[in-house]
Each structure stands twice: as structure tokens, then as C-alpha cells.
Amino acid sequence: MKALRGVELKRFLRRGPTPRRQLAILLQSVAYPVNVGSIFRIADACNVRDLVLCGITPTPPHPTISKVGRAKEHRVPWRYVARAEDAALELKAAGYHLCALEITDSARLYTEYPFPANVCFIVGNEDHGVTQSMLALCDGAAYVPMFGKGRSLNVHVSLAIVCYHALLVAPPAG
């Protein structure tokens, strides 16, 4: 066994599975540039169609975002919208199902969530989560279970888990 690099790696990745959905991501005041940079890498890896940065979320150009994100802000289609609720309504009008990654009274385990063909994952601030006004606009909420003593994972880790599940594992909704 040997690690693949260069042309061999590109060929290997081309023969991979076909994603089942189109994804968008909305960051509602995700404060830490390291998380934003990591989310740019996830967005690139998952071929996200629209990455929307809102509120106090730091935006490129930013040295930490660029370093952690390995300059993916140049490849991923992203935009800044001051009010997350405005961006959510735009995404909904564009045909996206809005799914908050948040623990709510009606949240479903991410492995049991019926993701439709076009889904936008909404992640909130690292300390406060997705706001009530944003949750009111969402079509649903999904969560990643915790089996240890902690109550949550880092925002970009949860997002990566759910994005890959939606792209590769979850059956089509309906």
C-alpha cells in the first residue's frame, strides 16, 4: 500500500461516488476564523454551491481563514449577507431546504433526517448556536449525538459529519 499523490490521486478521486444532493451552508455569526477556514475546506470538499457568511462571521481576506482553509476561499462560491434571516429567505426562495444543525425540541438524529435534493445547512455561533429567529425560518433541525460527557462537537466537525452523510449515505427524501 502507498499513499497517492499528484496525477494518481486525481484519477483516484475522479472515480469516486456521485453526490446525492446539492448543498449550501449558512454561517450565522460563527466567530472564530479557524472554524471559518475549516468550513471553507469542507465546502470545497463537498462541492458546496453557496457558502453564506452572516453577522459577525469573519470574511476573507483574512490570514487565519486562508491558512486553515488552504486558500479555498478562492475556489468556493461565497458571499457575505449581514442578516442571516435575509440570507435564509434568499436560499429558501432558490429552492433550498433549510436544516439547522442544532439541538432543538424537534431535532432529528442526522442519520434519520430526510434530506431533500437541495439542502442548506445552517450553523450558529460557537457559544450561542442558531438563534430563535433563524430556527423559525428553518424547515427542520438535525443533530449529531454525543456519547461522552461533552454536549457538542466543534461546529466545523459537526458540519463535516452531516454534509458527508447527506451527500453519500442518506437515501433520497420522500
pLDDT digits (tens, 9 = 90+) for 54-79: 999 999 999 999 999 999 999 999 99
C-alpha separations of 173 from 20, 60, 141 in Å: 11, 35, 15
13 inside domain: no
Share of the chain above pLDDT 70, in %: 99
Task: Give the domain extent around 23.
Answer: 19-32+47-58+77-169
103 inside domain: yes
Say which residue the cell 444543525 belongs to.
101
Domain count within the chain: 1
Band (113; pLDDT cuts 50, 70, 90): very high
The one-character DSSP state at 72 is G
Which pLDDT does position 96 carry in this prediction? 98
87 inside domain: yes
Say which residue the cell 461565497 belongs to.
78
Kindly tell me if the per-residue pLDDT of 20 is higher than 90: no
pLDDT digits (tens, 9 = 90+) for 139-157: 999 999 999 999 889 999 9
Which pLDDT does position 106 carry in this prediction? 97
66 inside domain: no
Q: Could you tell me the CATH number of the domain that includes residue 159?
A: 3.40.1280.10
Band (16; pLDDT cuts 50, 70, 90): confident
What predicted TM-score, i.e. pTM, was given to this entire model? 0.95
Q: Mean pLDDT of all residues in the chain? A: 96
Continuous H helices in 106-146:
132-135
Whole-angstrom Cα distance, residue 170 to residue 50? 21
Longest CA–CA span in the chain (Å) reads 51
Q: Is the separation of the CB atoms in 163 and 61 below 8 Å?
A: no
52 forms beta bridges with: 26, 79
68 inside domain: no
70 inside domain: no
Which pLDDT does position 174 carry in this prediction? 64
